[in-house]
Amino acid sequence: MAVILAARRTAVAPRGGAFARLRIEDLGAAVLRAVLADAGLAAEAVDEVIVANALGAGGNPARRVALAAGLPERVAGLTIDRQCAGGLDAILLARALVDSGAAEVVVAGGVESYSLRPLRAMPGADGQPVPYDQAPFTPWPARDPEMGAAAAALADRLGIAGAAQVDWAVQSHARARAVADWPEIVALSGVTRDAFTRELTPAVAGRARVVAGSVTAATAAVAADAAALVVVVSDRTAAGRGLRLLGGLTLGGDPEEPGLVPVAAIAAALGGLGLRPADLAMAEVMEAYAVQAMACVAGGGLDPAIVNIGGGALARGHPIGASGAILAVRLFHGLRAGKGLAAIAAAGGLGTALVVAR
């Protein structure tokens, strides 16, 4: 059975912040070297590096990170794009390689620089470039909502009021501020804590700009830069250490309601292992929007007391391709005993769930 032997991340810095000038390889290489040191493995032991990246940086970021970290040139690197879910999916791919015997040591996770994302354009009707920000996630524009609007529609359908979303966001920041030490963070550019975490109050949140409907800037995760990686090895190499990768999967669902797809993924991942939500000791659920996290926690039957105990993405930020991997890193460092879950939604109607055990 595949095992996470080590897990690290950078702090999360808002777009244009402390990491604004760092390239993808600058973010990822430092974390890669740190996880190998934690695992007690040499660079020569790595068979593959799988990195999620969502913002179209090109040039195979996984290869760039591997080379910048000093891995052997034979390590090809594999970059995947499943948007927000990509960081967890990279870990699931690493698990598959190790469990199949195709690899012994795989470094997997995600890296994203929102600050240095490339400018994108498509040819217009006259052949001239037309800039765009959000790539299409479906072939049907009518079924491809802007993510903030989709979150607002979800809140309306489920009857989750703006005040309840604010309460969730306030709690996320409070939990993050209560953490005295973040051993998972690799110091980079002098940053050792998530830069966005603050003392959020309902009064402060009430002054936030409206994103869509009941969703505001206080209840939506800010765009950010970060990297998060784990070392996945066979249990032979792990020798009794680490976090066992029990299972997980990615499911597709309604593209117009991406926030709810993790509910089905959670049920399938737990059900396939004969587990119930009550069997979990810890869960990390993505907070791209407060309402999306609230819907997944309720729909998945999760105990809110064990969810995002050190705060979530509302208190960190959302470095898209790295966000799922950050959930796994948090599980690695926070789960002392028992079983844990990471779950995330992604644009286009995707949901990924990962189940682990100490």
Catalytic residues: 84, 318
CB neighbourhood size of 210 (10 A): 12
Cα Rg, the chain, nearest whole Å: 19
Task: Produce one character per residue of 231-244: b if its CB has 16 or more CB atoms within 10 Å, e if not.
Answer: bbbbbebbeeebbb
Q: What angle do CA 277, 106, 244 make, to 5 degrees?
A: 30
Backbone angles phi, psi at 279, to 5 degrees: -80, -5
Cβ pair 247, 315 in contact under 8 A:
no
Mapping DSSP to helix (H, G, I), strand (E, B) and coil, where does residue 246 land? strand
62 Cβ contact partners less than 8 Å away, ≥ 6 residues apart: 49, 50, 51, 53, 77, 78, 79
Sequence letter at residue 215: V
Tokens of 207: 């002054």
- Provide the residue count of the chain: 358
Tokens of 139: 């072939």
Cβ pair 166, 206 in contact under 8 A:
yes
